[in-house]
Amino acid sequence: MASTFAFAYDYVAPGGALPSGQERTYSYGPYPWANAAVAVSAHPSAPEPLHLSAILEVTRVRFKDPGESRYLLVSVRNHGPSSINFQLVIGGVRP
């Protein structure tokens, strides 16, 4: 029977954790990613008025070592007009 999982990570800093126009890569693991279908999303942490025009993009999702499938690398870009605090969610299904 398949099982689901979800992990949420908050990135918060005074003035915003991810500046406008910047891209950062984050590493997660070691986790049992092998044989799992994984989805990643990023969104503002708080519904602040400045974040109404926030545009976050998950630009890359890849394994650090495809043979081991233990570390997931995720790149996030802020296309919005200001620095932003955000939450990144990794969810999936495994057999």
Count CB neighbours of 12 within 10 A: 12
In-domain check, residue 33? yes
Read off the pLDDT of residues 24-60 as tens digits, 9 standing for 90 and up. Answer: 999 988 776 667 888 999 988 866 555 567 889 999 9
Q: Which amino acid belongs to residue 45?
A: S
pTM of the model: 0.83
DSSP E strand stretches across the chain:
3-11, 23-28, 37-44, 56-63, 72-78, 86-94
Determine the pLDDT at residue 37: 87
Task: Classify residue 62 by its DSSP letter.
Answer: E
pLDDT bucket at 9, cuts 50 / 70 / 90:
very high
In a domain, 34, yes or no: yes
Task: Kindly state the DSSP code that residue 71 receives in the 8-state scheme.
Answer: -
Number of domains composing the chain: 1
Q: What pLDDT was estimated at residue 57? A: 95
User: Is there a domain that residue 93 lies in?
Assistant: no
- The reply to whether 92 falls in a domain is no
Q: Is residue 58 part of a domain?
A: yes
Identify the residue whose tokens are 């007009």. 81
In this structure, are residues 75 and 57 in contact, taking their beta carbons and an 8 Å threshold?
A: no
With respect to residue 11, please indicate whether it lies within any of the assigned structural domains. yes
**The predicted structure's pLDDT at residue 64:** 79
